[in-house]
Structure 1
Amino acid sequence: MARRDEIVQAAIELAEKEGIGALSVRRVAAATGIGATTLRHYFPTQDALAVAVVREMSAGGPADGDIFDRSRPALDRLAECLDQYLLIDETRKASLELWLQLRDAGSDDSNGSFAGLMQSAYSVLNDTVTHWLLVLANEGRIDRVDVEPATFTIVSFLDGLAMRHINGLVDDPAQLRRRLRWLLTRLLHERTS
């Protein structure tokens, strides 16, 4: 792993364990096993480090699963893709809490750059859900005109679940899956058979 990636990973782990306030150059350098001067070579400012943390947290994404397998019902394929977001273990809960801390840290962002970064990071979920819905639209399982509002509705549902988890509410996994299927059935207008 490249040094820059090691620094970012150490920063994420530190923030997940101790909160966003732990993302000082000295603390992250110590967690990485390097000096502050070396860290500043890769990240000249603390803001640059925070930006890298946000970008890394939003990189990648969930697997596409069987979304392309036309032999299976479209509703099942989409539900299985979205299932990756339903259950939040302790690691994912810590990541959600870190996102909230990052959001709060950027709340007095006078030039809007941090808010813009958070928006671009947030768009990963939007883009992923849109991608899955477009696969189904290309198969004729959902009208293309419905992709954007369906994405908004699904992402809002997932956001609500994330907030429930952050606030300590525990949901039954089977019930969450039933609610998700109920929602998807209505969004896809029963064209998913």
Structure 2
Amino acid sequence: MTRRDDIIAAAIRLAEQSSTGQANLSVRAVAKEAGIGASTLRHYFPTQSDLHEAIARRYMHVAINDFSIDDSARDPAERLFECCAQLLPSHEHRQIQLDTWLSAHVNGLGPERRAPVRRLLEHSHEVTYDHLDRWLQVLVDEGHLDAAEVAPSSTALFTMLDGLALHSIITPERITVDAARDQLRWLIAKVLEPKS
């Protein structure tokens, strides 16, 4: 692991040890956790924004779980649902997750958009598509899906996940956590439906 990786790992440890939304990811706190001086940290991350962006990028890669997508003994639709459902808001943290999703999109795409947030949104899309493509490819390899269906299925799934988040904000009484999960199950059934 490089020194840069050590610094990011230290920052993630700090974030994980903190209460939700209370992480102290200041240069001093992260440098102390990494066992280095603040000037060394600044060499790798000249601004606090650079540090926060690197942390967010790394976290995106470890935050999405592949669960048991490779377990061919399990139903393919259930495996794909398990993987995709983690990208939906949960019962416990629904409002925080939806507020974070909306804030990221407003700050990255809105009239006063911020370049670092836009870059993080773009990166999160790349990471999400990479995971969706990988999960679908597993199902292709097992004969549950045609290879030509990976790209459109990946786009359909991601579009539905984002759409469900938006509709959960606009009409929360209609798109509840359970309703969103039902819609995701419906789409996965369509994706994996045998084509005649």
TM-score (normalised: structure 1): 0.70
State which of 119, 122, 132 in structure 1 corresponds to 2:122. Answer: 119
Partner of residue 67, structure 1: 69
Compute the displacement of 1:147 (Å).
Answer: 0.6
Give yes or no for the alignment of 1:175 onto 2:175: no
Write out aligned runs for 1:7-46 (5 A): 7=11, 10=14, 17=21, 28-29=26-27, 31-32=29-30, 37=39, 39-46=41-48
The total of aligned residue pairs comes to 181
Partner of residue 54, structure 2: 52
Partner of residue 155, structure 1: 158
Question: Could you tell me the percent identity over the aligned residues?
Answer: 28
Identify unmatched segments of 5+ residues in structure 1: none
Partner of residue 188, structure 1: 192
State which of 5, 8, 28 in structure 1 corresponds to 2:9. Answer: 5
Give the whole-Å Cα distance in 2 for the aligned partners of 1:54 and 1:76.
Answer: 29
State the 4+ residue runs in structure 1 displaced beyond 6 angstroms. 11-14
Superposed CA deviations along residues 13-64 of structure 1, whole A, max 9, x for unmatched, are: 99x738xxx99xxx71355475854542341124422431331232224322
Q: CA RMSD in A?
A: 3.9
State which of 55, 75, 84 in structure 1 corresponds to 2:86. Answer: 84
Compute the displacement of 1:164 (Å).
Answer: 4.2
Superposed CA deviations along residues 156-190 of structure 1, whole A, max 9, x for unmatched, are: 11112333456683644433332212111112224
Give the whole-Å Cα distance in 2 for the aligned partners of 1:102 and 1:108.
Answer: 6
CA 1:39–1:168: 2 relative to 1, 3 Å:
farther
